[in-house]
Chain A
Amino acid sequence: MPGFLSKLLPTAPSSHDDDDNYHNTEYSFAMEYHGPPVSYDLPLAVPVDIDQVPTAAAVASASLLDNSSVPVIQPIVMGKRLSKQLVDKLKIGSEITALGEPAGLIARGSSGALGSLNGDEGAPKLLDGIRSSRRFGFSKIHKDSFELLGSADMLQLPNDSKDGTRSPGRFGFSKIHNDSCELLGNSDMLQLPTDCMDGGGLEDYLSHASVDSSKSSVSSEVLSSEDSQREQPCHVKEPSSVTFRDPESVEIFQEKSSHAKARNINGRMASERNVKKGLCYRCLKGNRFTIKEVCIVCNAKYCSGCVLRAMGSMPEGRKCVTCIGSPIDESRRRTLGKCSQMLKRLLSDLEIELIMRSELMCEVNLLPYELVCVNGKFLSQEEMDLLQGCPKPPKKLKPGRYWYDKVSGLWGKEGHRPCQIISPHLNVGDPIKRNASNGNTKVFVNSREITKVECWMMHLAGIRCVGNLSLWLSADGTYQEEGQKNLIDPIGNKAQIRLLCAIFSLPFPPDSANPSGGEVNNPVNEVALNNLDQKALHKLLLVGSDRSGTSTIFKQAKFLYNVPFSEDERQNIKIMIQTNLFCYLGILLEGREQFEEEILTEMRKNQSADGPSPSGNTRLVCDKTIYSIGPRLKAFSDWLLQVMVSGNLEVIFPAATREYAPLVEELWKDAAIQATYNRISELKMLPRVASYFLDQAVEVSKMDYEPSDVDILYAEGITSSNGLACTEFSVEDVNLDPHNQPSTLLSRRFELIRVHPKNLGGNCKWLEMFEDVGIILFCVSLADYVDEFSDDLNGFSTNKMMESKKLFERVATHPNFEHKDILLILNKFDLLEEKIDQSPLTKCEWFHDFSPVLSHNYNSRNSVNNTHTLAQIAFHYIAQKFKELFYSLTGHKLYVSAVTGLERDTVGEAITYARTILKWDEEKKPNYALFDSSYSLDTTTS
């Protein structure tokens, strides 16, 4: 296309840039006349040089676009006479922005509608004229620039009207050369002047640019681009200077683009805004004595009128909106959680509390772990969490090098005497070095050469310290000479020593009575503990169609990993069991009526076939079948069925359970009911566990009934509302990876979430809520192939296996689970073994081509000669069917596991399998699962 166009255009449009051919050629609109000479003047069509179209410059690249921040009004110094100044810092996403608007809009919007705190102050700052002219002038140009450059960014526009001859409404636009844009895109040369702290630097530099009006006043120095210097001046009538620069944004950009660099260690140090000391960075008012709040990242100071605007909703504490997500300035670490009186005046206590809490707790503000070095080894995230999460963490931890005596818990700066005793035996850092505290006493305590002060201390404590002495000091303060058995008295008991320790500022072992006082409410500690919990939390989503046994698996998992059932849960299950008892009975009674009726009609038919006979007599005989019950029970039965039909079962029960318990038992023991129960295969709704509970009806119905573990396991469901259930458990992963570093934590935490399919909504809409799960356990009951699932209203009946298949398809193809692993749990293998003999697998249409090849001496139950049983073959066949289905849907591998819900071991195996799959995943993409996204920068490079 460009080549073709350049042929069409004999005079090459000037200064094509190879990287921007597309735009340039689009803008050439005429060909030069090459015909025979004519007498009149030829109209000349001058090709438009894109480089000369005045544009607002865009800085940096699209990589910034994901840094979501709202436009902020950033103050800059303006002329002294016209002290109305404005810097608009715009962040342009995909939208085209009219420069100059946000300030006005925000001011207007807030003052109009919400009655903002600052609305009255903010609006008058902008003269209406200025505002409108600005908006008008900029928006067009800006659009152009956007089109041209295709990438847009933060623009900062300081308008310097120092000498007052220029009206603030006039703006010149300088363009940015494509080359310079390119330069921006990939160079690290964008070191911005950092010396314009107090305004002088930038102003000087700006005035220099504006004096030289023949030059473009683009901040070419800033861009350090020769090309932009060479550009012709733009069509600015009035000398004015416009600088497009934004130190911060560029720095962010650098951070993001150069993944090779470590995390910006010191945070973004002093903000490079040209603000005089004592002024508010936003409104440029005030003096040194007005109270201001300081951004903990860039040290920008804001007065009470501006702080809320500049800092927004402070999701990470007191940071400018643009600084959100950046690590804090380490020198301000000690001010974390302590805000100024001014902020306290502005906001309510509740608000302050939450801001300070998030300031202390949020992850970006935590001490960067890679800056803390213990015994010569820089820490990892886990070690850091361990260190800060321990009962007695080091106080006022700062980046630096420390030594840590694991045996005694002594803690100090490298090359210095101990300063604190923290929790001992933490698996943090390397073993301690001999010269850790730079001692020269030849006395060794836990293989660290102690310092002079310590040595004196030991003298005073009555311990002989001469020559090459090696001592062992344990955490409770007892000394032991190396190679000897006798314990030396704990020095901690002597009050005198305690005093001396305080004088020499040496740490002192704590009273044993008060081992860990005062540490409870330390939020950093809390975060670290939280991190320890959360870091390794893997989520397993357990889902399956109705009655596929997900709840049994869930309960088994709880038993397996010793997660106790809470009092609430037990109460819930108790109520469920008691209610279900009557449901089971109801189903049985219904069945009984049906069977009785069937037999009666049968008998009547036989009778009428037998011919006329004295009707009275026969009726008497006929009415008694094996399904008949006595009148008293009959009355109860009728009443119960009535209640069930009306749907009020839950209203009456389980409150009335106890009253009816004897009746229930009597009914259950009645021969008629037993006869009915024997035909359980015809009672589709009746679960197998019914007899288990009916057998102990009286027991179960008692008020003080406490469900045993078996009862809980057998009970249907987990909660009466069929809501979501989740449980957490941790597993020591020692066996899975023997080569794992011994120093890191081995225990991994898992959360098993069980969802009822009904809860997922039509088309599994709510699956989107589970996008962060690691693996999906999809549960299918193997026995389902025989069960017809009747779609009650239209009389359609679907095979339950097909129903499961449909759900499986929906889960597997859900867009949020595109790359998720699925472990198919084929449950109720025991039932399959039972049923496969009675009804063939081909009963389900999906399995129509199941034709097992069986050995001659086939025995379905025990395979004597190493052949598989029919059930096993069926299992493999079904698994294969699902695998094929999954592959055709997603192109991925499906993991399958056979489980018998009531056998704990099989459930355990399946969950272990799921954990192994997760482990494989982690090994495949280590940056994904192990590290939080905010730390992935470092891990890719290290």
Chain B
Amino acid sequence: MSVAELKERHMAATETVNSLRERLKQKRLLLLDTDVAGYARAQGKSPVTFGPTDLVCCRTLQGHTGKVYSLDWTTEKNRIVSASQDGRLIVWNALTSQKTHAIKLPCAWVMTCAFSPNGLSVACGGLDSVCSIFNLNSPTDKDGNLPISKMLSGHKGYVSSCQYVPDEDTHLITSSGDQTCVLWDISTGLRTSVFGGEFQSGHTADVLSYDGSHHYVNTSEHIKSVSISASNSRMFVSGSCDATARLWDTRAASRAVRTFHGHEGDVNSVRFFPDGNRFGTGSDDGTCRLFDIRTGHQLQVYHQQHGDNEVPHVTSIAFSISGRLLFASYSNGHCYVWDTLLAKVVLNLGSLQNSHDSRISCLGLSADGSALCTGSWDTNLKIWAFGGHRRVI
């Protein structure tokens, strides 16, 4: 078979795939007769109301000297790890707002960090393409720096996101700019399985080539974030620069369980809904979306109209403990609190008093849902708590 012939067949196959996808899209649109907000309204639900004092900043964590890029809470204690462009990981005690560890990183360009479920170690990754694990209890060297206890190397691109598998301190999932997600065994430092990539049906550049609008020029297919289901730790979703989110089963690395289309820009952030059957995404197209993993349908778009043409990107999202609230931070400095049922913005954290001076880059809810931590480019982290007698939702 000659190369030309192969090319021809490849083209034809691509064409078929694209037309099938288009049909699938049409079919989905037909089936999509309502969304969450429409149904909730029909049921007479009223939106959550938020006074400006119902969510207040009660702690400011100062200490970083560069933009904060990522944060993560421990599962049981009130501790936070944050990663900043100043090349440091800082472990905070959220109660006293003091630092317990300041870890100087060998590579300053860090993008993500995570706390292990037992709270004994932290992981981080960044432009050095390596995911480094620090054991918080290991003795410091003579300069007062914590040594790296494990280096997970193998990615061919930057490590954009990492998360420990719930209740497993030895397993960690990373996402990377090399189109893959990897499940690591920390004790051996080896890859347990690789999701996506060149040879499997991972995130690929062709995904959007059928998109007639050509709204989004695909240049890469870097995976930006992962989220592991809390209820079923074998399932995780990844959000990618090809404007899709994919659901994976860690037992079947060869192909994604499902691919979720809908966004028109890089998917910057994915988070599982607390019940584990849905997940939310935040994207460069300025919208957040809610997808159902069982049906594969998009349930709701959270989009705020902006007057100007500049569409702010969604930088990070987080759900409240019940899922009723969706916190989403935007590149223009806003941080909306969405009522997920009625798709209404009930509060803008960015406009509250003593909010951050700059864009909020990362969000995280404490394990019990009582506090929200925001990390910002103004080098500070802030902890917000529900004020007064308000029930935690």
Contacts and interface: CB of A to CB of B under 8 A. Distances in A.
Interface of A: 66, 68, 70-71, 91-98, 101-102, 105-106, 108-110, 112-117, 308, 312-315, 321, 324, 346-348, 350-351, 354-355, 357-358, 646-647, 719-724, 726, 755, 758-759, 761-763, 765-766, 769, 793-795
A449 B130 CA distance: 62
Interface in B174-221: 177-178, 198-199, 204-206, 209, 218-220
A96 B78 CA distance: 31
A724 B128 CA distance: 5
Given A114-B78, A721-B155, A722-B156, 19 more contacts: A70-B57, A94-B351, A95-B355, A112-B388, A113-B58, A113-B386, A114-B58, A114-B370, A324-B62, A350-B100, A357-B144, A647-B198, A723-B128, A724-B128, A755-B127, A758-B156, A758-B220, A793-B206, A795-B7
B99 A354 contact: yes
**Would you list the 9 A-B pairs with minimal beta carbon distance, nearest first?**
A113-B385, A723-B129, A109-B58, A721-B129, A113-B370, A351-B98, A315-B62, A95-B353, A109-B385
A346 B222 contact: no
Interface stretch (B101-109, B301-309, B335-343): B101-109
20 contacts: A68-B380, A93-B355, A95-B351, A105-B58, A112-B387, A113-B371, A113-B392, A114-B94, A313-B59, A351-B96, A351-B100, A722-B129, A724-B128, A761-B158, A761-B177, A762-B220, A762-B241, A766-B127, A793-B206, A795-B7
Nearest to A105: B56
A763 B10 CA distance: 28
A348 B157 CA distance: 39
B354 A91 contact: yes
A721 B154 contact: yes
A723 B351 CA distance: 38
Interface in B370-388: 370-371, 378, 380, 383-388
A516 to B, nearest CB: 16
B227 interface: no
B63 A315 contact: yes
Given A95-B355, A109-B385, A358 B144 contact: no
Contact of A116 (B95, B352, B387): B95
B62 A758 contact: no
A719 B128 CA distance: 9
Contacts of B204: 793
B277 interface: no
Contacts of A109: 56-58, 384-387
Given A117-B96, A347-B98, A794-B206, A105 B355 contact: no
A113 B129 CA distance: 37
Nearest to A601: B2
A308 B127 contact: no
Given A114-B78, A762-B266, A763-B219, A95 B99 contact: no
A350 B85 CA distance: 23
Contact of A313 (B85, B92, B101, B205): B92
B220 A313 contact: no
Nearest to B144: A357
A346 B100 contact: no
Nearest to B381: A313
A793 B93 contact: no
A308 B96 contact: yes
Contacts of B14: 793-794
Nearest to B62: A315
A723 B94 CA distance: 33
Contact of A347 (B59, B96, B130, B357): B96
B128 A114 contact: no
B332 interface: no
A549 to B, nearest CB: 20
A105 B352 CA distance: 13
A337 B370 CA distance: 35
The B interface, classified by DSSP as helix, strand, loop or mixed, is loop
Q: How large is the interface on B (under 10, 10 to 19, 20 to 34, 35 or more residues)?
A: 35 or more
A93 B333 CA distance: 14
B60 interface: yes
B102 A354 contact: yes
A358 B129 CA distance: 30
Contacts of A112: 370, 385-388
A348 B85 CA distance: 27
Contact of A93 (B61, B62, B353, B385): B353
A70 B380 CA distance: 11
Contacts of B130: 721, 723
A143 B80 CA distance: 36
B153 interface: yes
B121 interface: no
A68 B358 CA distance: 11
Nearest to B69: A769
Given A115-B95, A769-B109, A793-B206, A761 B241 contact: yes
Contacts of B26: none
B252 interface: no
B158 A759 contact: yes
B98 A723 contact: no
B158 A723 contact: yes
Contacts of B127: 723-724, 755, 759, 766, 769
B97 interface: yes
Contact of B93 (A71, A102, A351): A351
Contacts of A94: 351
B383 A114 contact: yes
Contacts of A114: 58-59, 78, 94-95, 370-371, 383, 385
Q: Which of B7, B11, B56 has the most chain A CB atoms inside 10 A of its CB?
A: B56
B19 interface: no
B386 A350 contact: no
B53 interface: yes
Interface centre among A98, A101, A766 (most CB of B within 10 A): A766
Contacts of A102: 56, 353-354
Nearest to B384: A109
Interface string B354-368: 110100000000000
Interface in B219-274: 219-220, 222, 241, 266
Contacts of B378: 68
Contact of A106 (B56, B63, B102): B56
A358 B357 contact: no
A761 B99 contact: no
B98 A758 contact: no
Q: Which of A110, A722, A769 has the most CB of B within 10 A?
A: A769
B107 to A, nearest CB: 7
A739 B109 CA distance: 38
Nearest to A795: B7
A112 B386 CA distance: 8
A102 B111 CA distance: 33
Contacts of B199: 646-647
A208 to B, nearest CB: 33
Contacts of A96: 353
Contacts of A358: 63
A354 B98 contact: yes
Nearest to B96: A308
Contacts of B218: 762
B98 A759 contact: no
A614 to B, nearest CB: 29
Contacts of A97: 353
Contact of B53 (A101, A722, A761): A101
B198 to A, nearest CB: 7
Given A313-B99, A647-B199, A759-B157, A769 B56 contact: no
A30 B198 CA distance: 75
B60 A313 contact: yes
B215 to A, nearest CB: 14
B20 to A, nearest CB: 17
B100 A95 contact: no
B95 A117 contact: yes
Contacts of B92: 313
Nearest to A354: B99
Most chain B beta-carbon contacts within 10 A, residue among A68, A314, A721: A721
